[in-house]
Amino acid sequence: MNNIDNKPTKKRGNKKAQLFTTSQYIVPQQLLSKVVGKVAASKNPLVTKAFVHTFAKVYGIKMNDYARPDLDDYDSFNDFFTRELADNARPIDQTPNGIVSPADGMVSQIGRINREQILQAKGREYDIGHLLASIEEGRYFQNGTFATVYLAPSNYHRVHMPFDGTLIKTRYLPGTLFSVNNTTADNVLDLFARNERMVCLFDTEFGTAAVVLVGAMIVAGIETVATGKMKRSTTTIQEQTHHIPLKKGDELGRFYLGSTAIVILPEAANTQWQVGLQHESVIKMGELMGTASVSSQKMAGANI
């Protein structure tokens, strides 16, 4: 696991952005998230109604796309925050060999991995081996491609499969809980490689691929279909092996409050991202992000 201390890195941008970033080093991140998590899990109807209605109003959440459009139909804030979509609210693009967005959100960064370096923000990169907590896997994905999707608090918060694949491994990595918005990404060194995260590895037509679910400030937990909701640990990496076939568009996991999903593809996939898809592009789950070139037989060495 990446050993990065919690000293503030050199801040960029205006004073407001610098103050916001610096404050995140001061607040007790884990304690704050724990307290918020308990409130969000409460099934007290007065607490639930107050939080759900206030949150929906503040963030302008429209309920037309959801299976339960009435705000009073949720028995806790967590139930509301991880609300399910109505049938056919997010059609899954069926382009052959297409890679679709795993979530509703905004593209933070997208492109090619420079050897083993992923772009976090303009002028700031981080090591993929640190993100995955595996030097071997970092080397495997060198010169591959990636797409980072930021989920704002107002977004739908379930994460879905961007491709067909068999889930073969999950690795839960405890860490810090910085915000993952653009301001923090621009100012905190190795942000995604130091925050709490869940690495999911898949066997696919084009080799091993990954989706990383990154936790953030006030996020009360990360859940996957293979592991359930993870119990937080300050020191222990939890790794499990699986054999779970999943189709493009199937649910993979969910966040309890806003966060980030990173799709990582090997060089062998020869991924071509959609023209015009760039920093701050708004995207919905199931929309086409790009295509992978798949030969009739996997390239030698296309798996870890």
Q: Is residue 143 part of a domain?
A: yes
Q: Is residue 140 part of a domain?
A: yes
**pLDDT number for residue 208:** 97
Q: Is residue 4 part of a domain?
A: no
pLDDT at 192 over 90: no
pLDDT 10s digits, 220-275: 579 999 999 887 766 789 999 999 999 999 999 998 876 899 999 999 999 999 99
The tokens of 90 are what?
Answer: 């997010």
pLDDT at 111 over 70: yes
Q: Is residue 201 part of a domain?
A: yes
Name the band, by pLDDT with cuts 50, 70 and 90, for residue 2: very low
- Looking at the structure, tell me whether residues 43 and 120 fall in a common domain: no
**Amino acid at the residue 41:** A
Name the band, by pLDDT with cuts 50, 70 and 90, for residue 301: low
Number of domain units in the chain:
2
The tokens of 13 are what?
Answer: 């941008």
**pLDDT number for residue 21:** 53
Name the band, by pLDDT with cuts 50, 70 and 90, for residue 104: very high
- Looking at the structure, tell me whether residues 146 and 260 fall in a common domain: yes
Q: Is 261 helix (H, G, I), strand (E, B) or coil?
A: strand
Between the alpha carbon of residue 233 and those of residues 90, 173, 299, the distances in Å are 34, 9, 38
pLDDT at 114 over 70: yes
- Looking at the structure, tell me whether residues 65 and 137 fall in a common domain: no
**pLDDT number for residue 8:** 44
Burial class (CB in 10 A: 0-12, 13-18, 19+), 117: middle
- Looking at the structure, tell me whether residues 61 and 153 fall in a common domain: no
Give the C-alpha separation, 177 to 29, whole Å: 6
The whole-chain average pLDDT of the chain stands at 86
Catalytic choice (33, 134, 157, 160): 160
Give a three-class secondary structure readout of 177-197.
Answer: CCCCCHHHHHHCCCCCCCECE
Q: Is residue 260 part of a domain?
A: yes
**pLDDT number for residue 183:** 72
Residues contacting 215, CB < 8 A, separation 6+: 175, 177, 195, 196, 197, 221, 222, 255, 259
- Looking at the structure, tell me whether residues 281 and 174 fall in a common domain: yes
- Looking at the structure, tell me whether residues 76 and 163 fall in a common domain: no
- Looking at the structure, tell me whether residues 71 and 205 fall in a common domain: no
Percent of residues, the chain, with pLDDT higher than 70 = 81
Lowest-confidence range among 15-24, 54-63, 148-157, 184-193? 15-24
**pLDDT number for residue 215:** 85
**pLDDT number for residue 218:** 61
**pLDDT number for residue 286:** 98
pLDDT 10s digits, 27-39: 545 555 566 667 7
- 79 catalytic? Reply is no
Pick from 298, 273, 196: nearest CA to 238: 196
- Looking at the structure, tell me whether residues 40 and 126 fall in a common domain: no
**pLDDT number for residue 175:** 80
**pLDDT number for residue 80:** 94
- 104 catalytic? Reply is yes
| pTM of the predicted protein model | 0.86
Q: Is residue 2 part of a domain?
A: no
- Looking at the structure, tell me whether residues 127 and 188 fall in a common domain: yes
- Looking at the structure, tell me whether residues 171 and 198 fall in a common domain: yes
Pick from 172, 190, 191, 189: nearest CA to 180: 191
- Looking at the structure, tell me whether residues 274 and 196 fall in a common domain: yes
Q: Is residue 285 part of a domain?
A: yes
Catalytic choice (104, 108, 130, 190): 104
Name the band, by pLDDT with cuts 50, 70 and 90, for residue 184: low
Name the band, by pLDDT with cuts 50, 70 and 90, for residue 205: very high
Domain boundaries, position 67? 25-81
Q: Is residue 266 part of a domain?
A: yes
Pick from 209, 203, 182, 222: nearest CA to 100: 209
- 23 catalytic? Reply is no
- Looking at the structure, tell me whether residues 200 and 258 fall in a common domain: yes
Of 50, 81, 112, the one marking the end of a domain is: 81
Average of per-residue pLDDT across 99-113 = 97
Q: For the chain, first and last CA: distance in Å?
A: 18
